[in-house]
């Protein structure tokens, strides 16, 4: 087992990883930027190293500095969390070269799955249904439009290297195709330095259903059920839950087995997520695989009782998974609300600032993953998500009630957050009935 792990991340996920390491008796090293001197992760870790100025490019994304820090403190492994370098194969390769274990899949797998167009082909070959679309990446607008016509409008234009909802545009017809293609391509160039695109059929009002899997070096792959992440704004998740309210056992089993097949086809190792779209006729299609731990992993932990971060560490250390598929019993219902420092009344503009008094809710079946504390100053340089509130109850209705009362107890003085926006969703009749898809926010809260 590792003696010491460096956590190449910040905020609540860094704190989450530190806690898992501590339980396993592993020493932890935090890295922090100059803007994060007072951050909780830097305080909680056994050691903390400043790796540079506030902008992420000069600190949390600076591979050389992070590797140097790791060598200097003699850490055996790096946990990248999510975002930042978590899906960067170059970084995973640098780790390997320096004899540091990257807690995640190999760089080869990151490459294979990180290129979304290539991932679709791998999945298609393994018999996993993919959204109808182009098999080869495209760069020029004429060829792309030709494919769009063949697929049939509306289509989704996507960047092969895209992520986080960037580099993605819908085209309704030939008329708006060129404009959307160019915008998506430009966004992709700017964000990911890659102009290769692919075209997919636009699935109308689907549910976003994803399966959590975890795999070890011995070929064991276990799936831990699904998450319904259909409550999204600008293709970004806002609320996640497990299980999905409308899946029947037969479809759940089939999709779960498909997810395992997908992971095996990719020769996958460590934690990963297979994302599907589920249409109104209950057809499901693979859209992408995320090769990292995800923001919403706690809902799976709550229903499965499996600590995903610990499993990531076990399998990265070359140990077998501590659970088999037969051990997995999914219990009750879990919901997560992402709490962001943003103003829903002003187009969700980020609202960093200093938090006054903080009161975090607690109680039976309540979990808060956060790195905030009373007097904490949220730096303006990073993501606006400052907490995740997760509840678990025997039933979905019970979990919704619990989430409402839990959010009622949360106090974050002095800053603007999306908590009221979350309430509105939790009080919506269709949400409560489980009758919603990825267009829910746009349709129900479009007036903002
Ligand atoms: P990213 O990697 O940027 O998050 P994804 O491919 O995972 O992009 O898609 C994010 C979201 O965009 C999905 O959850 C869904 O809401 C929407 N989406 C993606 N592809 C399609 C599609 N072909 N049809 C309809 N909606 C889509």
Query: Ligand 1 mean position to 184 CA, how many Å?
Result: 13
- pLDDT value at 447 more than 70: no
Query: What is the rounded average pLDDT of the residues 158-172?
Result: 92
pLDDT at 214: 98
Band (pLDDT 50/70/90 cuts) for residue 448 is low
Query: What is the rounded average pLDDT of the residues 353-376?
Result: 98
- Two tokens, residue 445: 């809260």
Q: What separation in angstroms does the CA of 309 have from each of 33, 294, 331, 396?
A: 24, 10, 19, 25
Atom of ligand 1 nearest to the CA of 275: 7
Q: Is the dihedral of CA 361, 366, 372, 373 positive or negative?
A: positive
pLDDT at 94: 98
Q: What percent of the chain has pLDDT over 70?
A: 99
Distance CA 293, CA 195 (A): 27
Distance CA 292, CA 299 (A): 16
pLDDT digits (tens, 9 = 90+) for 190-208: 989 999 999 999 999 999 9
C-beta of residue 396 within 8 angstroms of C-beta of residue 241: yes
Looking up tokens 């494919």, which residue turns up? 147
C-beta of residue 157 within 8 angstroms of C-beta of residue 182: no
Task: Please provide residue 207's backbone torsions phi and psi, each rounded to the nearest 5 degrees.
Answer: -95, 145
- The region of weakest confidence among 66-70, 77-81, 403-407, 444-448 is 444-448
- pLDDT value at 409 more than 70: yes
- Two tokens, residue 112: 């294979």
C-beta of residue 245 within 8 angstroms of C-beta of residue 396: yes
Residue of 37, 35, 83, 89 whose CA lies nearest to 61: 83
Distance CA 187, CA 153 (A): 22
- pLDDT value at 251 more than 80: yes
Length of the chain: 448
pLDDT at 164: 83
pLDDT digits (tens, 9 = 90+) for 365-394: 999 999 999 999 999 999 999 999 999 999
pLDDT at 221: 98
Q: Whose CA is nearest to atom 25 of ligand 1?
A: 203
Residue of 390, 391, 393, 389 whose CA lies nearest to 332: 393
**Is 208 close to ligand 1, i.e. is its CB under 6 Å away?**
yes
C-beta of residue 337 within 8 angstroms of C-beta of residue 124: no
- What global pTM score does this model have? 0.96
Distance CA 36, CA 29 (A): 14
**Is 400 close to ligand 1, i.e. is its CB under 6 Å away?**
no
Atom of ligand 1 nearest to the CA of 167: 3
Q: Which of 10, 27, 227, 292 is catalytic?
A: 292
Query: What DSSP element (H or E) covers 430?
Result: helix 429-433
Band (pLDDT 50/70/90 cuts) for residue 445 is confident
Among this protein's residues, is 292 annotated catalytic?
Answer: yes
pLDDT digits (tens, 9 = 90+) for 53-71: 999 999 999 999 999 999 9
**Is 165 close to ligand 1, i.e. is its CB under 6 Å away?**
yes
pLDDT at 46: 98
Query: Ligand 1 mean position to 124 CA, how many Å?
Result: 18
**Is 238 close to ligand 1, i.e. is its CB under 6 Å away?**
no
Distance CA 441, CA 167 (A): 20
Query: Ligand 1 mean position to 36 CA, how many Å?
Result: 32
pLDDT at 188: 94
Apex CA 95: angle with CA 91 and CA 99, to 5°? 170
**Is 305 close to ligand 1, i.e. is its CB under 6 Å away?**
no
Strand order through the sheet with 155-163? 166-171, 155-163, 197-201
pLDDT at 165: 84
Q: Is 267 left (phi over 0), alpha (psi -120 to 50) or beta?
A: left
Band (pLDDT 50/70/90 cuts) for residue 163 is confident
- pLDDT value at 346 more than 70: yes
pLDDT at 217: 97
Distance CA 313, CA 341 (A): 31
**Is 274 close to ligand 1, i.e. is its CB under 6 Å away?**
no
């Amino acid at each position: 087992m590792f003696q010491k792990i460096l956590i190449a991340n910040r905020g609540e996920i860094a704190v989450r990883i530190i806690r898992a390491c501590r339980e396993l008796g592993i020493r932890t090293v935090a890295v922090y930027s100059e803007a994060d001197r007072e951050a909780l992760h830097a305080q909680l870790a056994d050691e903390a190293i400043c790796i540079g100025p506030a902008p992420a490019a000069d600190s949390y994304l600076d591979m050389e500095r992070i590797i140097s820090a790791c060598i200097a403190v003699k850490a055996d492994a790096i946990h990248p969390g999510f975002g930042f370098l978590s899906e960067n194969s170059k970084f995973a390769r640098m780790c390997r070269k320096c004899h540091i274990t990257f807690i995640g899949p190999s760089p080869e797998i990151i490459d294979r799955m990180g290129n979304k167009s290539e991932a679709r082909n791998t999945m298609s070959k393994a018999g996993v249904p993919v959204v109808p679309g182009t098999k080869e990446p495209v760069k020029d607008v004429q060829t792309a439009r030709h494919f769009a016509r063949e697929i049939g409008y509306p289509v989704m234009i996507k960047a092969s290297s895209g992520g986080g909802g960037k580099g993605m545009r819908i085209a309704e017809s030939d008329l708006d195709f060129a404009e959307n293609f160019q915008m998506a391509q430009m966004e992709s160039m700017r964000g990911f330095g890659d102009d290769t695109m692919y075209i997919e059929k636009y699935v109308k009002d689907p549910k976003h259903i994803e399966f959590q899997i975890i795999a070890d070096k011995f070929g064991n792959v276990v799936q831990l059920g699904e998450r319904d992440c259909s409550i999204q704004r600008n293709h970004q998740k806002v609320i996640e839950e497990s299980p999905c309210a409308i899946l029947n056992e037969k479809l759940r089993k089939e999709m779960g087995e498909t997810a395992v097949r997908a992971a095996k086809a990719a020769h996958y190792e460590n934690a990963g997520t297979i994302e599907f779209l589920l249409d109104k006729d209950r057809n499901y299609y693979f859209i992408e695989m995320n090769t990292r731990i995800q923001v919403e992993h706690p809902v799976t932990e709550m229903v499965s009782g499996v600590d995903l971060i610990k499993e990531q560490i076990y399998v990265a250390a070359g140990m077998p998974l501590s659970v088999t598929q037969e051990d997995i019993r999914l219990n009750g219902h879990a919901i997560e609300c992402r709490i962001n420092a943003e103003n829903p009344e002003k187009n969700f503009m980020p609202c960093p600032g200093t938090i006054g008094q903080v009161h975090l809710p607690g109680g039976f079946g309540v979990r808060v993953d956060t790195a905030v504390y009373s007097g904490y100053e949220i730096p303006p340089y990073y993501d606006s998500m400052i907490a995740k509130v997760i509840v678990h109850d025997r039933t979905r209705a019970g979990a919704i009630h619990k989430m409402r009362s839990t959010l009622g107890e949360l106090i974050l003085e002095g800053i603007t957050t999306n908590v009221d926006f979350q309430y509105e969703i939790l009080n919506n009749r269709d949400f409560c009935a489980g009758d919603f898809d990825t267009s829910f926010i746009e349709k129900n809260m479009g007036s903002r």
